A and B are shown apart, each in its own frame.
Chain A
Amino acid sequence: MEMKKVNAGALGLLGSIMLLGVLCFALYATFASVHYRWNWQSLWEYRMQFLHGWLTTLIISGGAMFVSIILGFALMLGCRSILQPVRFFCTGTVEIVRGSPLLVQLLIGYYVIATAVGVSDPTLVGTLLLGLFEAAYLAEIFRGAVESIGRSQWEASKAVGFDKAQTYRFVIIPQAVRRALPGTTGELVSLIKSSSLLSVIGIEELVQKVRVMNSASYTALEGYLPLAIAYLVVTLPLSWTARRLEQKFTYET
């Protein structure tokens, strides 16, 4: 039994590696068939620029994730408020932010609103705007998760004497987290990639750096492969961690 399990695991791993190998070969063959001439040398000189861009992307994404989770949670609560004005305001915010292009929000947010209130640091403003944008999506994911918890759990919470805050804290959120995880992970991965748009307000994040590198070193596509890998280095562990968390929170039948 145990032996069979090990064998199945090893076979699965071997199969995955072979598939990956086939994919890499196909990619290589595709580039070869269009006679692409690689020029890695000139690109190598700009490696520090690349690293700098990567770090910028990481910092902004990390900050925006933090903002989006906190703000998304607050918006979710607002959308469920018993006070009608609060509910309208939060639902309206979600709809407007979710329904309009991030590009427009960044341009207006930075050049008009941030200038008007006297904030000029593009990294700060960009992080906040990106966080707000993703918060609108997260709010709906959180709301779906919270509303999927049945009425009977609310009633049972009240029956044991919990007030509203205690019900959220002890009963609803612990169960909702599990249900919100897959959607939230997808949204956070998407956030990391959306951070490339921040170049429009003058932030030199990873994609922008690669564009600059490519034009400076007269290469066309060389920068983009490391670019994809640099993103995957962050997004894959994120997805993996989320999977692990999901397993940890499995308790229902």
Chain B
Amino acid sequence: MKLEAHQLIKRYGSFVALDGASFRTGDQARVVALLGPSGGGKSTLLRVLGGLLLPDSGQVKVDDVPLPIDEMGALRALRGNGFVFQGYNLFPHLSALENITLPLLAVHRWSPHDAKRRAVELLARLGLADHANKRPAELSGGQQQRAAIARALAPKPSLLLLDEPTSALDPVMTGEVLDVIRELAESGQQIVLATHEISFARKVADWIVFLSHGQVDVSCTANEFFQKTQSMKARDYLQGLCRYR
């Protein structure tokens, strides 16, 4: 896939989350990692790229096709994507299984039989076969996040967008979730991932977009970024993260 952003601006009141962010990945990018310090605009950019958030101005192109900029068009476009959030954001009143089947039934018009089969298959694949009928409150953080990934994957999205999926998890659960994401990446799923897990990004990402203060500082292949980036900000950031690892 080729991701392209042109002069994206997004304000929240007086706070400017994206301040003219522009970048363009290579034509064959498969796993794009958004890196950068907190408050730099990673989450906002991820939402804009996925069509979840409309920018105040600017444009996003996926494989040279511009994203719609009206509410209904954006909703239709984002239905082809899957989202995973830092706080899991499962629906607390539904079981893990229902969390997955409900969007399939209500949005994607699957038959109940197909939806259930897909949900059971995904839960088993993500190691949650025994937890299908539990509510989110009965699951651990790692299990909730894996259920959330299953929900995002269920309609077979062309693009999976993950917003700091392990930031709320302890190291063991972080490992569980990262394993899942790596498997997905290796199986060919197209991914955009905002993260602070540098060594993980180094392992799975093939394109890096480094953001700070709402602007794209670096956009290059992962190899280039980790070997010889010229950006001082990016170097400082990498050194800061690696100090205790």
Question: Hey, which bits of chain A sit against chain B, CB under 8 A?
Answer: 152-153, 155-156, 158-163, 166, 170-171, 174-175, 178, 249, 251-253
Contacts and interface: CB of A to CB of B under 8 A. Distances in A.
Contacts of B108: 161
Interface string B138-164: 000000000000011001000000000
Interface stretch (B90-98, B110-118, B219-227): B90-98
B137 A251 contact: yes
Interface of B: 50, 52, 75, 78-79, 83, 85, 87, 89-93, 102-103, 106-108, 135, 137, 151-152, 155
A175 B85 contact: no
Q: Which of A153, A161, A171, A252 has the most CB of B within 10 A?
A: A161
25 contacts: A152-B87, A153-B89, A155-B52, A155-B85, A156-B83, A158-B52, A158-B75, A159-B52, A159-B78, A159-B89, A160-B83, A160-B103, A161-B78, A161-B79, A162-B107, A166-B106, A170-B106, A174-B93, A175-B92, A175-B93, A251-B92, A251-B135, A251-B137, A252-B92, A253-B137
Given A152-B87, A155-B85, A162 B93 contact: no
Given A156-B90, A251-B92, A161 B137 contact: no
Contacts of B107: 160-162, 166
Nearest to B104: A160
Given A171-B91, A174-B93, A251-B93, A156 B102 contact: no
A153 B136 CA distance: 13
A6 B78 CA distance: 55
Contacts of B92: 175, 251-252
A252 B136 CA distance: 9
A158 B82 CA distance: 11
B103 A162 contact: yes
B75 A161 contact: yes
Contacts of A152: 85, 87, 89
A191 to B, nearest CB: 28
A160 B107 CA distance: 8
A158 B78 contact: yes
A170 to B, nearest CB: 6
